[in-house]
């Protein structure tokens, strides 16, 4: 049915930044009449008035009164008891869904959700078509005309799912030639879509977070875990703002928000373990005594939210989101998941039992080729990174770069794909900690859920043989500052890759990103300007536009010299208070354009140069020569640029 665009919606959400995001989703669906409440009590106070409300959308975990308490109040209130009520929450476990349905919700959507997911739930809630409770879905396997099994697999846009993308690429290009199956992959926006499609039999299987798969199994969804999708592969980063000190780490994280991609995730578990180790009490809003608040946020939104919210201390997520954030100057590295629990499971390969039952040879071939795809990633990370760009970001929405993905795939403590055998002891450790220490998820019989027979044949060993070679895992630990500094420095250089124009000053070579250069010219007549610093030489008329010119020698503290026929003015764009502006910098001579990779670039030195290191983006080594890469926006301060432009 069509929804009235003029209906009045009460949105109840304690996190201001999440509230803004959800309002935008609601507005994008065509609804502009949105009332806001910061918690359940605030919502009740508004509902006690005569204010008309056509639909309530509420978070579950909130301080003072949570969404469940609000739901009970609404259903007990004579005036409001028929008001459609949607629970929009990170509380996605099946037991919680059942609890909310028994209390009378009209619909439920799990965070993080898309506009399409919310629209579907809103339509059902307004029409009174409550979601079916306890329905069992079946999947009818599909085959091709020549009898091959059509395997449709769901996934999301993270490096954890690259084995699927590499298998698809190698099959499509003829490197792999499956005899018993064809492969179709479907990229989805959220974990909830992946879980929902697996539960409803819309796909044959999926690569999904292990705790989500366990929760589905506990609810009676007929799935089996056949293989790991990877080991390790996640990253914990902290907000670059806030003055972090290792010896006062607890103070940095205390009383702040921390972002996770899903409550049923290894990221949630490892972040909980680390923060607890610091002596903190992490949890969700509304829990007693917590001093670090977990918020579920879409992974692609985490860098944006972290940059905007000074009350956010960091996030933990699958790569490459964290590395991209470090390279972009938004976050600093705290640790890689493989440093605190080496070889831990995270995402798993699950398939519906109906598909496995009558097609075991095809499933065996599929699992075996996934194992081979994992080895291919290990052996050829540069090629795998190139495949990853098109598989994970086909429309370019994430801005993924091959260099970032290659760094993720070759990181010593990062994602590993060459050993995908599912070890039940590791999965049990995950299950037990989340259930007993965090109160998340249900205990299940892993012997019934995990089928290692396919992986055993593909990997060439059985569970007991593998278990005998594994040392007992200890609890999480904080990596050494030296190890963290080395990893962080390598990641910080990734965004600095690209083409640079090199030029000379006093016999030394410097470089500027070619993306900031407008043009290069010989020296034009420069008109002096009074009452400006000495390094401002004046202004030039560039095709009718007046722009300031600085002598880069003087700005960098190098002795002035006479201009020659090799002297050039490089016109660049710099960041001023009112946006990008053009200015000219005078250099001794222009040399060449070089293409630099992260391997060529090192961080600015703390000593060993007479230059102010705040001007230096990095040091590049090319053909045994060192070039100083300048950060052009730092060469002039905002105050100096404003003074120059004001003349």
Q: Do the domain assignments include residue 262?
A: yes
259-273 mean pLDDT: 94
Q: Is the pLDDT of residue 242 over 50?
A: yes
* In a shared domain, residues 76 and 100: yes
Count other C-beta atoms under 10 Å from residue 80's C-beta: 16
* In a shared domain, residues 505 and 595: yes
* In a shared domain, residues 371 and 482: no
CA angle 115, 261, 384 (to 5 degrees): 100
Task: Report the alpha-carbon distance of residue 38 to residue 58 in Å, rounded.
Answer: 10
pLDDT at position 425, please?
Answer: 94
Report how far apart, in Å, the C-alpha atoms of 231 and of each of 140, 161, 319, 422, 601 are: 31, 11, 12, 10, 29
Specify which of 316-320, 469-473, 480-484 reaches the highest per-range mean pLDDT: 316-320
Q: What is the DSSP letter of 434?
A: I
**CATH number where 52 lies:** 3.40.50.2300
Structure confidence at residue 519 as a pLDDT band (50, 70, 90): very high
* In a shared domain, residues 482 and 442: no
Question: Which contiguous run of DSSP H or E holds residue 376?
Answer: helix 360-379
Count other C-beta atoms under 10 Å from residue 528's C-beta: 9
DSSP helix/strand/coil, 55:
strand
* H-assigned helices in 104-146: 115-127
DSSP helix/strand/coil, 56:
strand
Q: Is the pLDDT of residue 228 over 90?
A: yes
Say if CB 413 and CB 339 are below 8 A apart: yes
Structure confidence at residue 130 as a pLDDT band (50, 70, 90): low
Q: Do the domain assignments include residue 502?
A: yes
Say if CB 345 and CB 424 are below 8 A apart: no
Cα 374 vs. chain centroid, distance in angstroms?
A: 22
* In a shared domain, residues 456 and 512: no
Q: Mind listing the pLDDT tens digit for each residue in 70-90?
A: 999 999 999 999 999 998 877
Q: Mind listing the pLDDT tens digit for each residue in 345-398?
A: 999 999 999 999 999 999 999 999 999 999 999 999 999 999 999 998 888 877
* In a shared domain, residues 294 and 265: yes
How many domains does one find in the chain? Answer: 4
Say if CB 388 and CB 400 are below 8 A apart: yes
Q: Do the domain assignments include residue 133?
A: no
Q: Do the domain assignments include residue 396?
A: yes
Of residues 268 and 513, the one with the higher pLDDT is 268
pLDDT at position 642, please?
Answer: 59
Q: Is the pLDDT of residue 108 over 60?
A: yes
Q: Mind listing the pLDDT tens digit for each residue in 524-537?
A: 999 998 888 889 99
Q: Which two tokens stand for residue 173?
A: 């290009």
Q: What is the DSSP letter of 102?
A: H
Say if CB 226 and CB 351 are below 8 A apart: yes
Q: Which among 134, 132, 151, 129 is positioned nearest to 142, based on CA atoms? A: 151
* In a shared domain, residues 613 and 512: yes
Q: Mind listing the pLDDT tens digit for each residue in 292-341?
A: 999 988 888 899 899 888 889 999 999 888 988 888 889 999 999 998 89
Strands of 85-89's sheet in order across: 34-37, 9-12, 55-58, 85-89, 107-110
Bridge partners of 548, per DSSP, are 539
pLDDT at position 98, please?
Answer: 79
Q: Do the domain assignments include residue 512?
A: yes
pLDDT at position 532, please?
Answer: 84
pLDDT at position 600, please?
Answer: 79
Task: Report the alpha-carbon distance of residue 54 to residue 125 in Å, rounded.
Answer: 11
Please state which of the ranges 139-148, 214-223, 512-521 shows the lowest mean pLDDT.
512-521
Q: Which two tokens stand for residue 515?
A: 């993306």
Task: Report the alpha-carbon distance of residue 142 to residue 532 in Å, rounded.
Answer: 76
Q: In sequence order, which residues have a C-beta less than 8 Å from that of residue 596 and are 6 or more positions away? A: 496, 497, 498, 499, 500, 511, 620, 622, 629
Q: Is the pLDDT of residue 291 over 70?
A: yes
From 127, 162, 197, the end of a domain falls on: 127
Q: Do the domain assignments include residue 4?
A: no
* In a shared domain, residues 68 and 197: no
Count other C-beta atoms under 10 Å from residue 400's C-beta: 22
CA angle 333, 336, 339 (to 5 degrees): 130
pLDDT at position 479, please?
Answer: 58
Q: Mind listing the pLDDT tens digit for each residue in 341-360?
A: 999 999 999 999 999 999 99
pLDDT at position 29, please?
Answer: 92
Task: Report the alpha-carbon distance of residue 71 to residue 585 in Å, rounded.
Answer: 64
Entry pTM: 0.75
* In a shared domain, residues 203 and 351: yes
**Exposure on the CB side of residue 303, measured as CA atoms within 13 A:** 19
**Domain around 439:** 142-232+344-469
**CATH number where 601 lies:** 2.40.50.180
DSSP helix/strand/coil, 565:
coil
Phi, psi of 395 (to 5 degrees): -100, 0
Count other C-beta atoms under 10 Å from residue 538's C-beta: 17
**CATH number where 292 lies:** 3.40.190.10
Please state which of the ranges 289-293, 520-524, 542-546 shows the lowest mean pLDDT.
542-546
Task: Report the alpha-carbon distance of residue 40 to residue 44 in Å, rounded.
Answer: 6
Q: Do the domain assignments include residue 79?
A: yes
* In a shared domain, residues 40 and 94: yes
Q: In sequence order, which residues have a C-beta less than 8 Å from that of residue 588 and are 6 or more positions away? A: 503, 504, 505, 506, 553, 561, 564, 566, 567
Q: Do the domain assignments include residue 488?
A: yes
Count other C-beta atoms under 10 Å from residue 364's C-beta: 19
* In a shared domain, residues 120 and 61: yes
Q: Roughly what angle, to the nearest 10 degrees, separates helices 210-218 and 191-199?
A: 40
* H-assigned helices in 436-495: 446-449, 453-459, 463-469, 481-492
Strands of 292-296's sheet in order across: 282-283, 292-296, 256-260, 312-318, 234-239, 331-336
* In a shared domain, residues 366 and 401: yes
- Kindly report the average pLDDT of the chain as a whole number: 87
């Amino acid at each position: 049915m069509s929804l009235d665009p003029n209906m009045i919606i009460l949105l109840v959400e304690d996190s201001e930044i999440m509230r803004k995001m959800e309002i935008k989703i609601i507005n994008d669906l065509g609804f502009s009449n949105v009332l806001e409440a910061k918690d359940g009590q605030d919502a009740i106070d508004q509902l006690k008035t005569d204010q008309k409300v056509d639909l309530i959308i509420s978070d579950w975990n909130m301080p003072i009164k949570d969404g469940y308490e609000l739901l009970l109040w609404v259903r007990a209130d004579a005036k409001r008891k028929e008001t459609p009520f949607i629970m929009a929450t990170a509380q996605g476990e099946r037991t919680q869904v059942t609890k909310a349905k028994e209390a009378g919700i009209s619909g439920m959507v799990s965070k993080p959700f898309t506009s399409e997911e919310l629209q579907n739930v809103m339509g059902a809630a307004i029409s009174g078509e409550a979601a079916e409770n306890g329905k069992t879905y079946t999947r009818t396997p599909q085959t091709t005309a020549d009898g091959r099994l059509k395997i449709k697999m769901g996934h999301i846009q993270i490096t954890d799912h690259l084995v699927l993308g590499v298998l698809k690429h190698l099959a499509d290009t003829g490197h792999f030639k499956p005899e018993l199956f064809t492969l179709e992959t479907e990229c989805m926006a959220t974990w909830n879509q992946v879980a929902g499609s697996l539960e409803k039999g819309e796909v044959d299987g999926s690569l999904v977070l292990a705790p989500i798969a366990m929760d589905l199994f506990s609810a009676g969804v007929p799935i089996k875990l056949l293989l790991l999708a990877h080991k390790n592969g996640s990253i914990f980063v902290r907000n670059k703002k806030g003055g972090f000190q290792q010896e006062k780490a607890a103070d940095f994280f205390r009383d702040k928000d921390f972002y996770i991609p899903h409550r049923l995730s290894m990221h949630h578990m490892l972040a909980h373990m680390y923060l607890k180790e610091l002596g903190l009490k992490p949890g969700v809003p509304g829990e007693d005594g917590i001093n670090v608040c977990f918020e579920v946020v879409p992974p692609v939104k985490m860098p944006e939210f972290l940059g905007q919210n000074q009350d956010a201390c960091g996030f933990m997520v699958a790569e490459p989101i964290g590395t991209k954030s470090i390279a972009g100057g938004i976050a600093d590295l705290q640790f890689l998941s493989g440093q605190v629990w080496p070889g831990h499971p995270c995402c798993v390969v699950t398939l519906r039992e109906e598909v496995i039952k009558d097609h075991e040879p095809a499933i065996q071939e599929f699992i075996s080729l996934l194992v081979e795809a994992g080895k291919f990633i290990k052996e050829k990370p540069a090629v795998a990174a190139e495949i990853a760009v098109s598989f994970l970001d086909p429309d370019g929405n994430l801005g993924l770069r091959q260099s970032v993905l290659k760094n993720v795939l070759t990181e010593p403590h990062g994602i590993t794909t060459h050993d995908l055998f599912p070890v039940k002891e590791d999965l049990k450790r995950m299950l037990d900690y989340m259930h007993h220490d965090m109160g998340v998820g249900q205990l299940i019989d892993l012997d019934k859920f995990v089928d290692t027979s396919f992986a055993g044949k593909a990997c060439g060993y059985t569970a007991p043989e593998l278990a005998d070679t594994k040392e007992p895992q200890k609890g999480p630990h904080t990596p050494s500052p030296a190890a963290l500094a080395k990893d962080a420095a390598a990641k910080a250089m990734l965004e600095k890759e690209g083409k640079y124009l090199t030029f000379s000053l006093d016999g030394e070579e410097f470089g500027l990103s070619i993306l900031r250069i407008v043009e290069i010219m010989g020296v034009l007549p420069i008109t002096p300007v009074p009452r400006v610093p000495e390094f401002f030489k004046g202004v030039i008329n560039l095709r009718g536009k007046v722009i300031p010119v600085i002598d880069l020698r003087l700005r960098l503290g190098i002795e002035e010299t006479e201009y020659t026929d090799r002297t050039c003015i490089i016109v660049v764009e710099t960041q001023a208070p009112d946006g990008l502006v053009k200015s000219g910098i005078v250099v001794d001579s222009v040399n060449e354009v070089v293409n630099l990779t992260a391997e060529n670039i090192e961080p600015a030195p703390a000593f060993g140069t007479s230059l102010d290191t705040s001007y230096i983006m990095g040091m590049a080594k090319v053909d045994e020569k060192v070039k100083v890469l300048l950060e052009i926006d730092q060469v002039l301060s905002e105050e100096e640029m404003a003074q120059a432009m004001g003349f």
